[in-house]
Amino acid sequence: MKKYGYSRSYIEQIVYDSKITHRPCTSCGENTNISQWKRNQGICTKCLNKQQKQDNDDK
């Protein structure tokens, strides 16, 4: 399970269809809660801040 970057509990939640409260960030892979994941289109707050800072630096 470590090979794929997911915890045992995360896989058990998927297999046993229990409520999943966290999703991995599509950029860095860090777990973030579902509400942030949906609000930021799959990106954690840290990566979103980095992205916004780079956008501001480019201007």
Q: What is the pLDDT of residues 2-40, one digit of tens each?
A: 677 888 877 877 787 767 788 888 889 888 888 888 888
**pTM more than 0.75:** no
Q: How far apart are CA 37 and CA 44, in angstroms?
A: 6
In this model, does residue 49 exceed pLDDT 60? yes
What is the band of 59 on the pLDDT scale with cuts at 50, 70, 90?
Answer: low
For residue 47, which of 27, 23, 32 has the smallest C-alpha distance?
Answer: 27
The pLDDT, as a whole number, for residue 1 is 56
